[in-house]
Chains A and B, each alone.
Chain A
Amino acid sequence: MQTKYEINDLKLYYGDFMALKGLNFSIPEKSITALIGPSGCGKSTFLRTLNRMNDMIAGTRVEGEILLSGDNIYAPSTDVEQLRKRVGMVFQQPNPFPKSIYENVAFGPRLHQKLDRKQLNEVVERSLRGASLWDEVKDDLNKNAMGLSGGQQQRLCIARALAVDPDVLLMDESTSALDPISTLKIEELAQELKEKYTIVMVTHNMHQAARVSDQTVFFLNGEVIEADQTGQLFSNPSDKRTEEYITGRFG
């Protein structure tokens, strides 16, 4: 498998506080990588470096490099908007815009490129199909997205991210606000999406990491303790702290 992201000695500071303490690992493409660890371990912070969403927070400073398909995304020449177009993100809380279902999906593509009505319709349909939502909403495309259920809203957010044609999808605990059935749907969806996209997900739920991911990265106190194939990491962890965490000794 090809490497999508390569992380070289990545350090991140919030003011004087060092939140990520020199990370080194890589993320293979077209697979699911789960980031696990106790609260405050830096996994979400790390996820948000992958599309530079941390840039918004005043006082953040990054050292080291993250190579996305070989290019350092923290190089001064990086176009952050183009990067975020390539690297989609789905958040913890479903956050559709207060617009119609159609407008939510069409929002990104419309602002990034000139499309006529027909092309736009195609993008919307393809994205909603990609997020397994098309059949449920195809007759209600003009209804307000706020009227959908939480699980549907989250899949709409996935469709919205897919519509700008990314090659990476970041999921920041994207099922933690959902009921078990909706969670299962998103997990199944992730399995389909990894055929085309590289998926990196933060999860609090170790069963979820074990169920859906191909690789798992264990974070603790801003460091990566262990990064390995999911089966290997859960059945035969090489670090004592990993074993203690996955067996529920702490966290």
Chain B
Amino acid sequence: MSAKLANRIATVVIIAVAIFIVAILAGLLGYILVRGLGHVSWDFLTSVPQSIREGGGIGPQLFNSVFLLVLTLLITVPLGVGAGIYMSEYAKANRFTDFIRLVVEVLSSFPSIVVGLFGLLVLVHYFGLGYSLFAGALALTVFNLPLMVRITEQAIRAVPKEQKEASLALGLSRWKTITSIMLPIAMPNILTGTILASGRVFGEAAALLFTAGMSSPRLDFTNWNPFSSNSPLNPFRPAETLAVHIWKINSEGLAPDAAEIAAGASAVLVIVVLLFNFTARFIGGYIHRKFTASK
């Protein structure tokens, strides 16, 4: 076979594979959106679910998903950015550092159902948190923290050495150099990485079944006291998220329109995750242009 022919065949095969992948994605998205979007309305997004009658919505679940994400980020962003800075700037290249890196990798690839059961045993029962947003946020931290560490470490490492040296040569301390030069330059990458990682948190179900729970109390959206049991802001109340809700009504939903609700909720979930992706791209591109003064 001549080199030219081999090249042509390889090109065709590679293009075919690429088209196949795009087709799968387009098919999946199309199927979910076509099935679900018809059911999505303002009323669907804001009303409470019904257990037996039809016409239930996903309002509390949507709120729970967003609130849980915020709680998780409140825990993981400071810890993850701090650890990432340590790993990239302070940790010496030795076995201990390699070991930390290995632990972080293993942590991020834990099966989520195992993390969920671990959360049930340790957080919910042993520490007595009960089914709560807080327990859910801690379970999600197990996946999200390693991602944040890696995102930050890589973003800081990607800062050109010249920039770092320029700052040090002006007599700035290492810490000042990190906070006033390296972090701002790394920020677009950290930000886009965080938003992408948020997509995973938003869609996670298995780890939340036994931690954040499969029920939501009657929430009073006019009560903003975070210590009150029916306040949406109370982090110690059970909170069924959107992804968990989809799983639940699909497997044990009694409402006659359970299938439509699951389809609608799936469409909403997919759209939100897509929004995360597009936002990440947009913000990353915008800040990059601002930093490099390119058009």
Contact = CB atoms under 8 A, between A and B. Distances in A.
A and B, one complex? yes
Interface of A: 51, 53, 56, 58, 81-86, 88-89, 91, 93, 95-98, 107-108, 111-112, 143-147, 157, 160-161, 164
A157 B166 contact: yes
A95, A160, A161: most-surrounded residue (chain B CB, <10 A): A95
A85 B294 CA distance: 32
Interface string B163-177: 101111111110010
Contacts of B172: 81, 108, 111
A122 to B, nearest CB: 18
A164 B171 contact: yes
Given A144-B292, A146-B292, 20 more contacts: A53-B168, A56-B168, A58-B93, A81-B173, A82-B171, A84-B171, A85-B171, A91-B165, A95-B163, A95-B166, A96-B166, A98-B292, A98-B293, A107-B180, A108-B170, A108-B171, A111-B172, A160-B166, A164-B170, A164-B171
A123 to B, nearest CB: 13
26 contacts: A51-B169, A53-B165, A81-B171, A81-B172, A84-B168, A84-B169, A85-B170, A86-B171, A88-B170, A91-B166, A95-B162, A95-B165, A97-B166, A97-B167, A97-B181, A98-B292, A107-B180, A108-B170, A111-B176, A143-B293, A144-B290, A144-B292, A146-B292, A160-B170, A161-B169, A161-B170
A156 to B, nearest CB: 11
Nearest to B294: A146
Contacts of B165: 53, 56, 89, 91, 95
B103 to A, nearest CB: 23
Tell me whether chain A's interface is mostly helix, strand or loop, or mixed. Answer: helix
A217 B149 CA distance: 47
Contacts of A85: 170-171
A194 B240 CA distance: 71
B291 interface: yes
Interface in B134-183: 160, 162-163, 165-173, 176, 180-181
B185 interface: yes
Contacts of A58: 92-93
Contacts of B293: 98, 143-147
Contacts of B290: 144
Contacts of B181: 97
A197 to B, nearest CB: 15
Given A58-B93, A146-B292, A98 B185 contact: yes
Contacts, number: 73
A53 B173 contact: no
Nearest to A82: B171
Nearest to A89: B169
Given A111-B176, A147-B293, A97 B171 contact: no
B258 to A, nearest CB: 53
Contacts of B170: 84-85, 88, 107-108, 160-161, 164
Contacts of A95: 160, 162-163, 165-166
Nearest to A80: B171
Nearest to A163: B170
Contacts of B167: 97, 107
A41 B172 CA distance: 29
A83 B163 CA distance: 19
Nearest to A79: B171
Nearest to A107: B170
B171 A91 contact: no
B92, B162, B163, B166: most-surrounded residue (chain A CB, <10 A): B166
Contact of A98 (B173, B180, B291): B291
A107 B167 CA distance: 9
A154 to B, nearest CB: 12
Nearest to B293: A144
Contacts of B162: 91, 93, 95
Nearest to A84: B171
A36 B162 CA distance: 23
B207 to A, nearest CB: 39
A147 B293 CA distance: 6
Query: Can you list the 10 inter-chain pairs with the closest CB atoms, starting with the nearest?
Result: A85-B171, A144-B293, A95-B162, A84-B171, A89-B169, A98-B291, A146-B293, A108-B170, A147-B293, A95-B166
Given A51-B169, A84-B169, A111 B163 contact: no
B163, B293, B294: most-surrounded residue (chain A CB, <10 A): B293
A81 B167 CA distance: 11
B75 to A, nearest CB: 30
Contacts of B163: 95, 97-98
A209 B261 CA distance: 78
